[in-house]
């Protein structure tokens, strides 16, 4: 069997095969971040060609400032939950922290987890709302109040990211097409 690790372009790109995979992977360290992808090739020769094209594309994006270099959403949620627990210890019901942890673990990380913080836009937040409204649990969709509580957790996470300088501004998180939910009664 041939070697499972190779380097090309003067050691700037590494090509390797994982133990239980038939495809070659490639990786490169650029802009302070290790970037990886699958070549989806079984042949080493084709994998090397793919990796070279992939690396040159990354370099071009980096030169034009199009290569995202921001923190992942999962990193921000971990930091938020640690800070929230420390800042509110003894002041809030422990169930409040548990609710935020559940929102992150069950719904927010599966949807936003692989995204960089700058990729979370007003459009993505609306897509999240729609996906949650279509999800079915125990034969019914979640209540609007449940989705709103998840959005509150998302908002708190993004505010934490802004505070740390990982995000330049907060996206608009208001629900479009929705009137006021405040009930007003006649006199």
Q: In 3-state terms, what secondary structure has residue 135?
A: coil
Q: How many domains does the chain have?
A: 2
**Residue 95 within any structural domain of the chain:** yes
| Boundary residue ending a domain (43, 64, 85) | 64
CA atoms within 13 A on the CB side of 85: 12
One domain for residues 27 and 94: no
**Residue whose token pair is 């084709």:** 46
**Residue 175 within any structural domain of the chain:** no
pLDDT in tens, the chain (187 residues): 456 889 998 889 999 998 888 999 999 988 777 888 899 999 999 999 999 999 999 888 888 777 666 788 899 999 999 999 888 877 888 898 899 999 999 999 999 988 888 889 999 999 999 999 888 877 888 888 899 999 999 999 999 999 988 888 899 888 777 766 666 677 6
How high is the pLDDT of residue 180? 62
**Residue whose token pair is 């003067």:** 10
C-beta of residue 104 within 8 angstroms of C-beta of residue 77: yes
> Residue 10 and residue 1: Cα distance in Å, rounded?
24
**Residue whose token pair is 């990786």:** 27
How high is the pLDDT of residue 1? 43
- How would you label 131-149 residue by residue, b for 16+ Cβ within 10 Å and e otherwise? ebeeeeeeeeebeeeebeb
Could you list the beta-strand ranges (E) of the chain: 5-8, 13-17, 24-30, 33-38
Maximum separation of any 2 CA atoms in the chain, in Å = 84
- Please write down the long-range contacts of 173-181, taking CB distance under 8 Å and 24 or more positions apart: 173/122, 173/125, 175/126, 175/129, 176/126
Domain holding 39, by residue range, is 5-64
**Residue 87 within any structural domain of the chain:** yes
Helix (H) and strand (E) counts for the chain?
6, 4
Q: What is the pTM of this model?
A: 0.65
One domain for residues 47 and 78: no
C-beta of residue 32 within 8 angstroms of C-beta of residue 71: no
């Amino acid at each position: 069997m041939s070697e499972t690790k190779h380097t090309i372009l003067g050691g700037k790109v590494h090509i390797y095969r994982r133990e239980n995979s038939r495809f070659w992977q490639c990786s490169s360290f650029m802009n302070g971040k290790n970037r990886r992808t699958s070549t989806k090739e079984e042949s080493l020769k084709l994998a090397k060609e793919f990796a070279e094209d992939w690396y040159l594309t990354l370099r071009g994006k980096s030169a034009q400032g199009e290569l995202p270099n921001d923190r992942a959403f999962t990193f921000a949620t971990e930091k938020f939950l640690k800070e929230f627990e420390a800042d509110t210890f003894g002041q809030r019901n422990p169930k409040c922290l548990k609710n935020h942890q559940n929102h992150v673990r069950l719904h927010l990380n599966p949807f936003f987890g692989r995204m960089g913080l700058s990729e979370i836009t007003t459009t993505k937040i609306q897509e999240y709302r729609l996906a949650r409204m279509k999800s079915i649990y125990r034969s019914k969709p979640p209540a609007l109040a449940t989705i709103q509580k998840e959005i509150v957790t998302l908002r708190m996470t993004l505010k934490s990211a802004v505070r740390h300088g990982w995000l330049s501004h907060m996206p608009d998180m208001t629900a479009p097409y929705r009137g006021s939910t405040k009930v007003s009664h006649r006199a």
